[in-house]
Structure formats: C-alpha cells, structure tokens
Structure 1
C-alpha cells in the first residue's frame, strides 16, 4: 500500500473504533485525528487525502 491509501485508512479505522466504543461520528472523527497527531501521522494522513483528491480530480478531467 502507498501513503495515499494506508494512512487515511488507519485514521478511518481509528474513527470506526471510537464510534464502535459509543462516540458519535463527529466525536469519533475528532478523536481519531487527535490520535494521528499524537502518533505523528497527521501529515501523512493529510498527504494521503490530498493525493486521493488530486487523483480523483485528474481522473474526472481525463475521463
């Protein structure tokens, strides 16, 4: 897997875990992002998300 898919998937997995533990979706997402910051992954998560958006926009223009 690449940064583009791996790190956003980790953040999403953490959000699902928090949601499963009883947090509402917004709080779960917030807690997952805080955990990314604590783990030093936030820049990689954001980089992966930007790459996903770029690829989606590029495919839309080309396709």
Structure 2
C-alpha cells in the first residue's frame, strides 16, 4: 500500500511539472506566477499528505522532547 501511495504522489508531482512547463510555453502568464503555482501545488501535498514530507520536515515539538 505504501508503494502505491508513493507512486500516486510521484505521478501527481510529474503532472504538475508537465502542466507548468506547458503553461510556460503556451500561455501569456508571467513565468513567476506559474512557478509560484507549481511550488504551491507541489509543496502543500508534500508537507501535509505525503509520508516522505514528514521525514523532510519533522515536527519541531516532537523533536524537542
């Protein structure tokens, strides 16, 4: 089950990157807005939902004990 969840999040991250690249190429939006949307769209699920985010960003309250 863990491997399926990891694969699902990897697919989500790659989809976000592909959409951002397509938007950079084909749209008139400012590139900084597109990069900001990509960063937000990938970091929020990584930190809050992906189990690998818990290892990358440990909870400081738990670490202090």
* TM-score, L = length of structure 1: 0.41
Q: Give the number of the structure with larger relative contact order, counting CA–CA contacts within 8 Å between residues 6 or more apart.
A: 1
Computing the radius of gyration from Cα coordinates, the structure with the larger value is 2
